[in-house]
Amino acid sequence: MPASSPSAPVQDARFGLDRHLHLSEPLPLASGQSLAALDIGYETLGTLAPDARNAILICHALTGDQHVGAPNPRTGKPGWWDRLVGPGKPIDPARHFIICANVLGGCSGTSGPGSIDPATGQPYGMRFPVITVADMVAVQARLLDHLGIQQLHAVVGGSMGGMQALAWAVHHPERVRAVIAIATTARHSAQNIAFHEVGRQAIMADPRWRGGDYPPDDGPADGLAVARMAAHVTYLSEQGLTERFGRRLQDRDALGFGFDAEFQIESYLRHQGLRFTQRFDANSYLYITRAMDYFDLAQPHDGLLAPAFVPAARAGVRFALVSFTTDWLYPTAETKRIVRALHAAGAPTSFVEIDSPHGHDSFLLDAPEMNRIIAGFLAHNG
Amino acid sequence: MPASSPSAPVQDARFGLDRHLHLSEPLPLASGQSLAALDIGYETLGTLAPDARNAILICHALTGDQHVGAPNPRTGKPGWWDRLVGPGKPIDPARHFIICANVLGGCSGTSGPGSIDPATGQPYGMRFPVITVADMVAVQARLLDHLGIQQLHAVVGGSMGGMQALAWAVHHPERVRAVIAIATTARHSAQNIAFHEVGRQAIMADPRWRGGDYPPDDGPADGLAVARMAAHVTYLSEQGLTERFGRRLQDRDALGFGFDAEFQIESYLRHQGLRFTQRFDANSYLYITRAMDYFDLAQPHDGLLAPAFVPAARAGVRFALVSFTTDWLYPTAETKRIVRALHAAGAPTSFVEIDSPHGHDSFLLDAPEMNRIIAGFLAHNG
């Protein structure tokens, strides 16, 4: 095992390590602003090989965190992707050095609007600079620098994690050998932006948002819950909702003719909204959704996507794309657009559309076909 | 022209008449409750034939009103369906006696939560009884009784108006000769309910909602705007949004890296939300969405839809169903389910799916094919 240091403790293949990195160099951002200092909360699993060639970076989605394969030390809940990541799983700490960092703008250890602004000693709130997916990737690159990893075996992510995985190939093609991008998009569509805007307006309409300067224990929970509910509907499919809930009533045999949760779907949504407010920061939700809305890999190339991938193709990056039949948030048609651009750029690309009734959330659920695809792709890129 | 009476003024084929009816008999409701008295705001166009066989009832959608073919006397805006209804149009006051009533629960002249409760002298607020689509139809039936119309030439509606049209055939098969139901459903799906619940929660989370007891000029405008924004996204298609807005920026050449409306779609949605609060009542939104969520014509028949239509088929009611390719709120698959049930029940039914990029809202926009279908269907049912 490598020697330990204060910020790089001894690895243990069985358990995740909840880690933290503080960097005092300023971080330049896509907006032209910069962040004075940077904290990164991250988890590692497994042991970095002496040649540092077994590192896999996993990028989390909008409301995820760094606890991808080991239990969250605060909540005790299992890692959010432990069906894919863990001993005996396709991404295995016995073979891989697995890294997952809370994204820039987040609220789980990495600098975000809830962090203390060193210039004032107060939380940034809405004075935190606006960030992009490219900025998130730049932070991860700093983390890899710190960990002594020049090139990733693979970068893997679903949804916003897939955006980051694609952005790695675009912005740092020499630092990644393989990209696995799942249930994702190369740009946020007008409809994607629209749903995010509904959520942001719900948060900012809550008087307890107070322009972003709310105490941590008295934030805009009602607005954030509505934002989560609206988003949650987009993560599920009509088919999945019908199979799971249909028009079944909640705790009753007949219609109650009132405004309590009559239908199970209402009760479920209210529960999702409430639970979310207990684990996520409203300002982080504003900043991260904004970053996603800004995401458009083709923008610097006059709307053409293939040129964005040419440097990655030249660097020999291999790509695996996965979509799900009932994902209407980032539908298969958008994944096919990415695949066409990758082919046009000359990048080796595999693509599978998986049949699933569970909509966008499929990638977080039991998806044995996805796991087989990832295992196979990683094995052929060893 | 027929003689006038205080509540049935002289008809004029060129202009709509803004009318009002007060009925003091109690109205029994599906919930088992009843409404002590009933106001109905309605518009008529054209002249009722001596045999009263030229009456067409038009049913409006969630946020519509009775001003279907003539300008709204308060706003001066054209009738909301004046592409279909008016001189020389498929539904023509020169031939038809056209009736459109504000729905029960509404806020444009018909009894709703903003009405004065005669028992207290105060607005009902959330003490207004919960209503259903069947109750809306029962109110329209009372209006027809008052107007001396035993049987409608046709009942026509889109979206929630289509639900009412179908409900007419189910609950009053002997009173309608033809049904034209457009962009609609025979039941609200879990996804439909979910989006409505998001809107309701947004309203009820607004502290100015005050349990429904808000002054008319200081209601939960922020929550209502969010509800409208969320709903509005469901009325448009991904394709339509992309064609109309794409990722185009609002009033700028480059990203502003802030939380103002950066993209045109954001500015558009905010405008839609704000404008809606100036014309609609938040409690009405709660009650009418609730009524829509309760809508399920198959519910009394153990989930089978065909039996609901058997009485209409026996009465000789003819049906025309129209759906739009990009309507994902009430998709063609749901219309086909209705058509199959009508065929199984033995009702003469025509069905057309119209190619349109505009999603659910297609029925309110320029839709010449829809107009031709309606004109032809009405002519063959003359």
Domains of chain A: 17-188+296-380 (3.40.50.1820), 192-289 (1.10.1740.110)
B305 has pLDDT over 70: yes
What mean pLDDT is predicted for residues B234-253? 92
B11 has pLDDT over 60: no
Q: Do A222 and B205 touch (CB under 8 A)?
A: yes
Best A128, A132, A191 member to test B by mutation, with max B CBs in 10 Å, is A191
Does the annotation count B115 as an active-site position? no
Characterize A237-259 residue by residue with b for buried, 16 or more Cβ atoms within 10 angstroms of its Cβ, and e for exposed.
Answer: bbbbbeebbbbebbeeeebebee
Does the annotation count B146 as an active-site position? no
Q: Among all residues of chain A, which has the CA nearest to that of B330?
A: A238
Q: Among all residues of chain B, which has the CA nearest to that of A328?
A: B238
Can you give the pTM of this predicted structure? 0.94
Q: Do B190 and A246 touch (CB under 8 A)?
A: yes
pLDDT at residue A7, rounded to an integer: 43
pLDDT at residue B16, rounded to an integer: 67
pLDDT at residue A16, rounded to an integer: 67
Q: Do A198 and B225 touch (CB under 8 A)?
A: no
Q: Do A230 and B198 touch (CB under 8 A)?
A: yes
Contact B30, B105 (CB under 8 A): no
Residue B23 in 3-state DSSP? strand
Tokens in use for B231?
A: 């709903």
Q: In this predicted model, what pLDDT tens digit does every residue of B347-363 receive, in sequence order?
A: 999 999 999 999 999 99
| Run of H or E residues at A40 | strand A38-45
Q: Which of B187, B241, B258 sits opposite A247 (nearest CB)?
A: B187
Q: Which of A189, A197, A273 sits opposite B269 (nearest CB)?
A: A197
Q: In this predicted model, what pLDDT tens digit does every residue of A86-135 receive, in sequence order?
A: 999 999 999 999 999 999 999 999 999 999 999 999 999 999 999 999 99
Q: Which of B205, B257, B262 sits opposite A206 (nearest CB)?
A: B205
B15 has pLDDT over 90: no
Q: How far is B112 from chain A (nearest CA, A)?
A: 15
Q: How far apart are CA B123 and CA A77, in angstroms?
A: 49
C-beta atoms surrounding B366 within 10 Å: 10
Average pLDDT, chain B: 94
pLDDT tier at B74, thresholds 50, 70, 90? confident
Residue A280 in 3-state DSSP? coil
Q: How far apart are CA B92 and CA B69, in angstroms?
A: 9
Does the annotation count B327 as an active-site position? yes
Best B187, B198, B329 member to test A by mutation, with max A CBs in 10 Å, is B198
Task: Give residue B200's Cα distance to chain centre.
Answer: 18
Tokens in use for A123?
A: 């939380």
Tokens in use for B352?
A: 């057309």
CA atoms in the 13 A half-sphere facing the CB of B283: 30
Catalytic residue (choose from A108, A115, A159, A356)? A159
Q: In chain A, which residues have pLDDT < 70? A: 1-16, 381-382
Residue A91 DSSP symbol: B
pLDDT at residue B1, rounded to an integer: 33
Q: Which of A129, A190, A266 sits opposite B197 (nearest CB)?
A: A266
Q: Minimal CA–CA distance to A74: which of A99, A105, A43?
A: A43
Q: In this predicted model, what pLDDT tens digit does every residue of A62-88 receive, in sequence order?
A: 999 999 999 998 888 999 999 999 999
Q: Is the dihedral of CA B85, B87, B91, B92 positive or negative?
A: positive
Residue type, B170: V
Residue B159 in 3-state DSSP? coil
What mean pLDDT is predicted for residues B128-156? 98
Q: How far apart are CA B16 and CA B74, in angstroms?
A: 13
pLDDT at residue A305, rounded to an integer: 98
Q: How far apart are CA A11 and CA B153, in angstroms?
A: 79
pLDDT at residue A381, rounded to an integer: 56
The residues, any chain, with a CB within 8 Å of residue B106's CB and separated by 6 or more, are: B41, B65, B112, B284, B288
Q: How far apart are CA B124 and CA B126, in angstroms?
A: 6
- According to DSSP, the residues that pair with A21 across neighbouring strands are A40
pLDDT at residue B9, rounded to an integer: 42
Q: Do B266 and A194 touch (CB under 8 A)?
A: yes
B13 has pLDDT over 80: no
pLDDT at residue A15, rounded to an integer: 52
Q: How far apart are CA B361 and CA B158, in angstroms?
A: 9
pLDDT at residue A6, rounded to an integer: 38
pLDDT at residue A74, rounded to an integer: 86
What mean pLDDT is predicted for residues B169-190? 98
